[in-house]
Amino acid sequence: MFWEIAFTTLGGLGLFLFGIQIMASGMQKAAGDRFRRILEVLTNKPILGVLTGIMVTILVQSSSTASVMVVGFANAGLMNLSQAISVIIGANIGTTVTAQLVSFEIWVIALPAIGIGSLLNFFGRRRFQRYIGQTILGIGLLFLGMTTMSSGMSPLRDLDQFHDILLQFSRYPVLGILAGAVFTALIQSSSAATGVIIALTTQDLIPFDSAVPLILGTNVGTSVTAILAGIGANVAARRAAAAHVVFNVVGVILVLLFLAPFTSLIVETAVTVPRQVANTHTAFNVLNTLFFLVFLRYFNRLICYIIPGKDEKVDFGPKYLDPRILKTPAVAIGGAKQELLRMAGIAREMLYESMQVFLKNDLKKIKHIDQMEELVDGLEKEINVYLSELSQHSMSQQQTKLIGHLMSAANDLERIGDHSENIMQLGEMKAEERLPFSETALQEITIFSDKVTGMLESAIGAFKNDDKETASKVVLEDNEIDAQEKHLRNEHIDRINTKKCYPAAGVIYLDLLSNLERVADHAKNIAELVLEE
């Protein structure tokens, strides 16, 4: 009987988790897969952050995933602590939607939903129809998993030992909280943990008084993922992770202090125990959110006290492109140049961090590099749109020519960002596939990348200061880079031919040289713009 219960329950849990994954994927695609951008454009209004956290968590079907995203954005400097906290507490409300969904007795729609969703997914003519079909398919699998778990657990009704354990949870709520937290931490999903608890109540295996501590524990357990994401990150990311933990732990403590009136209030909200359990999950997170919103300023101070240090935030989007000064071309051109210099700094940082990924297998920088790539792409578009609007105003021939140069520089910087991302991906492939690189090859790469990085810095400096002498040196230096790249390429091909180098690693080495050489070409283009002015 034990193995039958275990296999059926695990199979049902697997279907439930797979259903959540399929449903989340379909919802994200149907929504345009824009939840990252939604996070990026948050304002400092806490209520907007909460609503965004709710919406993003409904899309990804995991408060843990949403919290990890927030930690990542904080680590990249794209989100400050107040924004991170508001999104995190909103995410805790968003994750209750799944519990509300599965608490209704609508198992009968599981198989029809799988059938309809599969038909739409396979035969839908438009992508949106296929995405909706994927969402419906995920909902059907989710309900089928709940039904399987529920039926698999039914034999537990006759086990006295199981009843004794549940009785301890009602007598000693702390034990129930610990059990719920550990279980949620193990399966990395509070939605799935809540689903299991609701499945237990559906079979009358667990009374409401024992279910409440377990539900409270799931909220503590879901914080583990954010803690793991914050390890080794910067101050802002560690604060975001700490905020998630403190939010849930303090909320659970407050509920424990008022456990009797809280449970009495929840009992009045529904007739069936599964609905009461779902309402417990929702009520806890909603009330906890309202409490922390009232004391948000003090909560920020508490987190800063727990995790001391300087919190630096990089503004996402343009800083110096003011549409109000378009009628003054000289000033507007100056603002565009400042924005370009900011963009150049980000591109230079991307190149440096990408080489760290390649040379030191530092995969933690990948998320930051991806976010900087989005930032560079966005700035390139914003700068070109701004300059296009500026060109519609009356200006001198020299100013018109300068606008063209600025547009060209924006394009070159965007391409440098693309090549930096390529280098990062090569480094990721090298690390994940454990491709061997000799000390000679790594030393050659280091010397060559240092030369390219120095060339880029000189080009940016020449552009900033209109330094024609430095720009001339950069143009001449590009010839040296081309010659060195050709020499290194020939030397490495010889090593491959003589079997001194692993072929797969050799391909990556050559791709890396090509990308670095292209970065040097774009640096030369920027220097040539200085010479043409």
Residue 87 or 35, more confident: 87
| Pairwise CA distance, residues 154 & 433, whole Å | 46
Residue-level length of the chain:
533
Tell me the pLDDT tens digit for each residue of 229-258: 566 666 777 887 788 889 889 989 998 888
**What pLDDT shows up at residue 65?**
59
Cα gap 181→193, rounded to integer Å: 9
CA angle 446, 368, 311 (to 5 degrees): 115
What Cα–Cα distance (Å) separates residue 193 from each residue in 184, 186, 278? 6, 10, 12
* pLDDT score at 156: 56
Instruction: Give domain limits for the chain.
Output: 2-306, 323-532
Is residue 16 scored above 50 in pLDDT? yes
Give φ, ψ of 466 to 5 degrees. Answer: 50, 45
Percent of the chain with pLDDT over 70: 78
Closest CA to 285 of 89, 453, 81: 89
Q: CATH topology for 323-532?
A: Methane Monooxygenase Hydroxylase; Chain G, domain 1 (1.20.58)
The Cα 267–Cα 12 span in angstroms is 28
Contact status, residue 12 vs residue 148, Cβ threshold 8 Å: yes
Taking the C-alpha atoms of residue 329 and residue 431, their distance in angstroms, rounded to an integer, is 49
Residue 317 has a pLDDT of: 66
Cα end-to-end span (Å), the chain: 83
Max CA separation in the chain (angstroms): 90
The pLDDT tens digits of the residues spanning 203-239 come to 777 788 888 888 888 888 877 766 765 666 667 778 8
Q: Please tell me whether residue 530 adopts helix, strand or coil conformation.
A: helix
Q: Do 84 and 104 touch, CB atoms closer than 8 A?
A: no
For residue 230, give both structure tokens. Answer: 């914050």
Q: For residues 103 and 105, what is the distance between their CA atoms, to the nearest angstrom?
A: 6
Mean local confidence (pLDDT), 85-91: 78
Structure confidence at residue 43 (pLDDT): 45
CB-CB neighbours of 404 under 10 Å? 13
Q: Which of 97, 98, 88, 96 is nearest to 20 (CA)?
A: 98
Q: State CA 192 to chain mean position distance.
A: 21
pLDDT per residue as tens digits for the range 98-155: 667 666 655 667 788 888 888 888 887 787 788 888 878 887 887 777 677 666 666 6
Q: Is 18 left (phi over 0), alpha (psi -120 to 50) or beta?
A: alpha
Query: Would you state the pLDDT for residue 33?
Result: 43
What is the SS3 string spanning 19-59? HHHHHHHHHHHHCCCCHHHHHHCCCCCHHHHHHHHHHHHHH
Q: Cα–Cα–Cα angle for 370, 372, 374, nearest 5°?
A: 75
pLDDT at 356: 92
| Stated pTM of the model | 0.53
Treating both helix axes as pointing N-terminal to C-terminal, what angle do 235-257 and 296-306 enclose, rounded to 10 degrees? 120
Do 71 and 226 contact (CB within 8 A), yes or no? Answer: yes
- With a cut of 60, say whether residue 72 has pLDDT above it: no
Statement: residue 506 has pLDDT above 90: no
Give the Cα separation of 505 and 438 in Å (integer): 10
Compute φ and ψ for 270, nearest 5 degrees: -155, 165
Would you list the DSSP string of 494-516?
Answer: HHHHTT-S-HHHHHHHHHHHHHH
